[in-house]
Each structure stands twice: as structure tokens, then as C-alpha cells.
Chain A
Amino acid sequence: MSERHETNEFDDDFGREIAAVLEPYKPDAEQFAREVQQQLEATETARVIPLPAFVRRVAAILPPIVVPLALTRAGVAATAVASKKLGWKVLPTAIALPAAVLAMLFVTFFVTVRRAVVANAHAEQAHLAQHAVSAWWRERWRSTLVVGALIAFVAFEAPIEAVMIVLGVSMLCLVGIVGALARNGFATRREIGGRCTYALGFIALMGSQFSDVAAQVADVERDSIFAGMLVLASGALIVAALSMFRTDAPRRRRGVQPGIGGVWFALFTLVFVCGERYWLGQREVTTEVAVQALERATPRWDFDADEIEGAVIHLRAAGVALSDLDAVAESFRAYLDAEFAAGREVSPYDAAAIERLGFFRESDYEAFRDDTFAKFTIHGDMGLHFLQQAAFRIAIHDRLESLTEQQRSSLAQRAVEQLDDLHAHDVLKNVVTVIQILERVGHEDRVETVRDFARDALLATWAAAPGDWAGCFAPGYASIDRDEDGVPDEPSHTFVWLPANDMAMRLLARFGVPDGIDLEALDRYLTEQSRHYGRTPDGRHVLAAAIRSHLHATPEWQALPSPSAWQKLVDMRLLFGAGLMVLFCVVVTSRAPRQLAAARWSGSSNPAAP
């Protein structure tokens, strides 16, 4: 039975009725062939003629694994064709997904902003962007959820090194895919280079701006971060120059040279990174700066008396010569004279610090005479309930009247008896004050009796869990949030606690460092507190720097093992990472074609020609 015979069997009136119903589906054969041909030509043309700039910009950030389906549907066939021709392997795509997810979050944000800004002027592009982004999320929301959850899990549970390695490898994969795209003619060198320039510059700007956070998260020194950001900014400039000058695109005779924006941006980034480090950003107070600041200090304006006293004590303990404190002495003198002349009561805390610094005149002692205190506390046996005020009054009356040995011994005994509550607020200051009283009344031999209490107080106020990046001492045990076992459960390194660390350092120097106190963590806290904006530091910055100098002079600090070669390499990982990223960007940019390549498939140039 022939085919024609079989076909005729069905070619009756009923068949013709069916064919009539299906008439709307019947195409014009020539039109159909023409449209197929046009579609093939359009695809080929899309590979030869540059795609719309916006599409190329998006694709330079997000390769076909991320973008293209929606764009293909929107009429840009080359992206899909490119992805098929490039033959993406599953593994690199999967590895690149975390970075792609993060990149897509950024793109979603920027596209949203962009749509809001240019919706009227560039409706077509805004539509494309909206279409691409929504299609991406629609098609990949499940994978995104899984990857996002994994990133969150890893970020919270895994060591930061593991997170950095995963994201770094992922980003390199993404860069590699973009590079493969570039080699396959999807975008020009200028476009790839431009994206790389802005990516490097953006990271450098963010890294410089948030170097505090970066230093804590990555557990590296700020200088290492600065070096990394400097490499990124320099790399951005190199890539910008590479993409601008090593292209075959004709130079314009008039108007703005294409790509010059990237160069300016990279230059701005470089200046910003250096400016943030040396002029605009926070600066660390060194010992030399602290000494200079102290010698120029103006009490009660930018320095408190306590801060000056603490800074002087710690700098002297660190072996720093303070030859010229005349400015401070004159300022204190002026302050006291003004208060006395005006009949105002001088704060006993300020007065005590000034007295301990040795800036009191004989007449000043008389001004602070307190007969009631002398009657009940020095000549009587009243307890030293307000230790700091009591210490000041004892110092005054020790100068005004000669205390008997019995009175001195009694005062020393009562001072030591005040140290009965490890969890008292300002316990460290209380210990230091007791020691000051003991020294004042000539009973230094009793200082050893407070050693255990002092060391216990240091441990009770140490506000860091093992492994915390920075650690400091709090004013009291109750100042710190703790878990059920009494371990600090959330680092809170506030500058408000700096006076407690002033006291702690004095006790550490005198009684040694108890086990459990991380001196490197304390050093990081003090370093952070010594940073300041502006030209001149305040009192607390100088005090923090002075405490830090004192810390570095202690035998315990000097006995700390120096970092191993491996640790030094680990500390430089940001620098290596930045260098690697720059290298990749340079390679990707330099390997991108200067002009868009022709279609890779070859064959009949007119395949569907009738």
C-alpha cells in the first residue's frame, strides 16, 4: 500500500472540514522560510554587531549562567547561542553559584535603583533589566535559597578562613567564566576591563571605608588591609588603562574619550584609599604622638585630669621620658586658681589627680582641709567607705599634719578591708586606690596582701571570651553579659571602659598577668581606642596609646612568641588575595578581544534561501 493511497483515504470531505478548522495554523510557506532565515541572520548578526550596551554591561558581570534566557526571549539571541557554544561545564557553574548569587543580589539592587531613576528615559532598557532579573529569580530561586542558606550557615558556623576560601574560589570561577565569555567574543576588552575596573575599585573603596569591620572579620592588621586595598586600587588603574589604550576602537577627535571614566574612577579610588589611610581616616596615636599631645594638652578642655594622670603614669612606666609637662601644670594651675577665685568647689576627683601628679602648692592642701574627715576617719576609726575621696583626704591630711604610725597602720588596715567584693563596680579602681593609700601611709609592705584579690578582680572584669578578636576590662563583673557558665557571651569593647583598662594595666604591671587574659586581644582593643579622626587626638586616645606602650613594656608581652612564618603568610592573605584578583582581571581583560568576534559557526551564509 503506497503512502499516497493511504493519504487519499483520509483526504475526504471530513478531512477537508478538519483542515478548514486548522486553517489559522497554516503558514505561508515562503513567509515561514523567510522568517527562519531572518532569525538565523539575526543570530549571526548579533555575534558580529555589538549587542546593546546595557546587555553587554549586565553580561560582563553576570555570564549566561545568570542572565541570558530572558534576554534571549527579548530578542537578543546571541547570549543563549554563546552559552551553548561555550559549552559550560557543570562544576565551574556550580562553584561559581555563590558568587553569582551575591552578584545577583547587587544587580537586583542596582537594577531596581536604575529602573527608578531612568524608567522614563530608557523604558526599553528598564524593561530588559526587569525581565532579566525577574527571569533569573524565577528560574533559580530554589538554588538561590539553598546556596543562600549554605552561605549563611558557613558564614555563622565555619571559620572565616573557610568562608573566604569558598567565596574566593567561587569568585575566581565566576571571573573565569566571564573571561571565557570574553574570549568567545561576547564582549570587548573595553567592556570587560571597565567592569573589572569598577569591581576592583568598588571593593577597594568599601574595604577602605569599612576597614574597622574588615580588620575584625578577617582578623588582620589595618596595614595589611590598606596594602590589599592599595593593590586593588592600583590594579583598577592598570586594568582601566589596559582597557582604554590597548583597543582597536577608533579614537574620537572630539568629545570624551571612551573608557576615560574608568581611569578617573580608578584614580579617585587610589587617592581615596591613600587619603583614608593618611589624611581622612582614623589615625593611630603612637607613643611619640602621645608624648607630644600630652606636652600640649589643655586640661578640662580636651583632656581630663584622670586621663593625663593615667597617660603620664603609663608612659613613665614604659620608660618614656616626659621632660616637659609645664603646659599641663600651668593649665591645672589656672584651672584651680579660677575655681578658688570664683568660690566654686573643685571636683575631688580632679583635685586628687592633680595632687598625685605633684602639681599642688602648699596653699592648695589647706584649701582641701576637711576637719570632719580628720576627726572621724584619721583620728577615729570610721571605715573608708568612699575610697577615692578618702584617699584624697588622707593625702591632704598626711601633708597638713604628721600622722602617727598607729594612725597610718589603722588607715592601711581599713583600706585593705574595703576590698571584700570582687563583683563591686569599679573594683579595679578600688584596688588601685587602696594601693595608693597604702603607699601614701608608708605601708607598701601590705600591697602584697591584695595581690590575690587584684588578680581575681582582673579575671572577674575581663570582658572577652576565649578566641575573641579584641578584649578589654570592664568596670565591674556585672557590666558584662554572660552565659550560664559566667563566660562573656558577646564582645562589647566600648570606649567607655577605657578607665577600667587604665587601672587594669597598672595592676597587670604590678601583679603580673593571670592566666586567661589575652594580651594580644587587649592590645587590639587599645589600638582601636587610640585611633582618632582629625589632626589632634583627644585625651582618651592618648591614654589608650600610653596604656598600650606600657603593655608592650611588660615582660609578659615581650615573652609572647613572635608569629611563625606561616602565620605571617596567613596575615598577608588579603594582600595575596588582592594581588590574585588583580592578576585575574588583567588576564581576563587582556585576553578579551579588541573588537567583537564574528560568529563561530560557519556554513552557508544563506542557509534557508529558497
Chain B
Amino acid sequence: MDLEPLLDRFRGPLIGFFAGQGNAPRDAQELAQDVFVEAYLSRERFGGDWSEMRAVGAWLRGIAGNLLHTERRRRGRSPRPIDDVEPVDPDADDPAGAVERDEARERLRAAIDGLRGPWRTVLCMHYLEGSGLAEIGALLGISTRAVEGRLRRARQELKSAIERLEEAQR
């Protein structure tokens, strides 16, 4: 078993999966790392073909689900919204423009946070590292076309939510 291709393919979708469940950035990354460690340690129990992406995705999905369940029990609280995280400010050199962009970004962040779980998860899985739809589908156990449909629907929902937020702010 070679771990490196797994990391390249599923790192982004997995972190996005945990982020979409409301975990903080560092927690999401650590949980994703735990998935890879656990997958490697228990690789003898994997009965499929390592080159078969959907089989590997199902294997990782099971481990991720268990870890997520354990983590929620351990914390004993509901998922933390995405807007709790400390944002990175790439426009620190342009204070005037930064304010306007910050407002737009705040609205976007709030809108993502307000999305229903499946839309938020698929958005995070795709846009975190620009991961392919096939990997996302393998992890979620749905077809690539279904991922595409969810992503499209998630973007529409997100735009509508942003518009509602803008109207509310006016």
C-alpha cells in the first residue's frame, strides 16, 4: 500500500468533508490525518483493490464516519459554524478595498454557514483544494453526476442566500 497517492487524491475532499461538518480548520486537518493513519494501520482489513478509487473512497468514508462520530461524542456539542474560524486577510495592504471585500466575504461566509449540510459539505470538499468530482463522489458514495448536481444546487443556494443577506443589510 502506497500512502502518497491516497494523500494527493483524498486530502482535500477529506478535510473539506470534516470542515463541512463544522470542525475548525486545525481539527479538520487532524481528523483527515487520523483517517489516513487509521487507514494505513488497518490496511489488512481492506479487502478491495487499492487502485479502485470508489472502493478506497468507501473504505475512507467508513473510517471518517467513525472518527466523526467519536469526535462528536467526545466534544458533546453541535458542530461549530465555519464563521468561527479566524479568517486570512490577503488584502492587508489595501485597507479601503479590504473593508468592502471583507464585508462581501463575511456575507459569503455567513451564507456558507447557513447552507444545508449536504450543500455545505460538497462545497467545502470541492473548493478547499479544487478536488475532482470523482474523488468527492467516491468519498460520499454517490456518482460524479450526482456530485455535479449537488455542487450546482449548492452554488445556487449560496447565491440566493447572499442576495438575501445583501437585501437584509440594505
Contact = CB atoms under 8 A, between A and B. Distances in A.
A40 interface: yes
Contacts of B152: 10
B105 A17 contact: yes
Interface stretch (A28-36, A110-118, A379-387, A578-586): A28-36
Contacts of B55: none
A484 interface: no
B90 A20 contact: yes
Contact of A21 (B2, B40, B105, B151): B105
B11 A18 contact: no
A251 B41 CA distance: 36
B108 interface: yes
Interface in B18-57: 19, 25, 28-29, 32-34, 36-37, 40-44
B1 A607 contact: yes
B159 interface: yes
A184 to B, nearest CB: 15
Residue from A22, A81, A84 whose CB has the most chain B CB atoms within 10 Å? A22
Interface in A1-46: 3, 6-7, 9-11, 14-15, 17-27, 29, 32-33, 35-36, 39-40, 43
Interface in B104-124: 104-105, 108-109, 112, 123-124
Interface residues of B, number: 53
A162 interface: no
Contacts of B15: 25-27
Contacts of B132: 3, 7
B108 A21 contact: yes
A566 to B, nearest CB: 50
Interface string B143-158: 0100010011001001
A24 B36 contact: no
A40 B130 contact: no
B155 to A, nearest CB: 7
A137 to B, nearest CB: 14
Interface in A530-563: none
B92 interface: no
B88 A23 contact: yes
A105 interface: no
B108 A17 contact: yes
Contacts of B42: 84
What does DSSP make chain B's interface, helix, strand, loop or mixed?
helix
Given A19-B130, A22-B19, A27 B11 contact: yes
A14 B159 contact: yes
Given A3-B133, A25-B15, A32 B158 contact: no
A478 to B, nearest CB: 59
A13 B4 CA distance: 31
A84 B34 CA distance: 15
B144 A26 contact: no
A11 B109 CA distance: 18
A243 to B, nearest CB: 31
Contacts of A6: 133, 144, 148
A205 to B, nearest CB: 39
B112 A3 contact: no
Contact of A11 (B2, B16, B130): B130
Given A17-B108, A27-B11, A603-B43, 6 more contacts: A9-B148, A10-B126, A21-B112, A25-B128, A603-B1, A609-B4
Interface of A: 3, 6-7, 9-11, 14-15, 17-27, 29, 32-33, 35-36, 39-40, 43, 73, 81, 84, 601, 603-604, 607-610
The 4 A-B residue pairs with the shortest CB-CB distance, nearest first, are A19-B127, A18-B127, A608-B3, A24-B25
Interface of B: 1-4, 7-8, 11-12, 15-16, 19, 25, 28-29, 32-34, 36-37, 40-44, 74, 82, 85-88, 90, 104-105, 108-109, 112, 123-124, 126-130, 132-134, 144, 148, 151-152, 155, 158-159
13 contacts: A10-B151, A14-B159, A15-B127, A22-B124, A26-B15, A32-B11, A33-B4, A33-B7, A36-B7, A39-B34, A40-B41, A609-B4, A610-B4
